[in-house]
Amino acid sequence: MKGISISIEVLIALAIALIVLLAAIAWFMGSFGKTASAQTVKQNFDSSCMTWTMSNCADCTIDCTGDVPTVVCDAYKEIFPSAACTNSDVRKEIALACGCVEPFGRGS
């Protein structure tokens, strides 16, 4: 045999190194993490929940869907578009996600 030959082990090592390099690039480019819009949606829900829970889950006298503030329902629907705040089970799920339990406004 004349010329230079590369063993199969070297070719396999190069292929693995290339895959690892591409995965590292994808990781740092944000392909594996949450997108900025998904983080904003989650942050909106968290902040609306925080406002509601600071009132001891009782602040539902104006602009409410059932017993949950509409702003909290809207933020939840951004995360789960098929959720209907008119459904009492969904409202309970939203309240639990915010850390509120029935009866709302306990101790007030």
Strand partners, 69: 64
Give the model confidence (pLDDT) of 37-86 as tens digits: 777 888 888 998 888 888 788 767 667 777 788 888 888 888 888 888 88
One-letter amino acid of 67: D
The model's pTM: 0.57
CA distances from 106 to 51, 57, 79, 94, 101 (A): 16, 8, 27, 17, 9
Beta strand ranges found along the chain (DSSP E): 64-65, 68-69
Q: How confident is the model at residue 1 (pLDDT cuts 50, 70, 90)?
A: low
The first and second tokens of residue 69, run together, are: 């503030």
Beta strand ranges found along 24-83 (DSSP E): 64-65, 68-69
**Is the pLDDT reported for residue 108 higher than 50?**
no
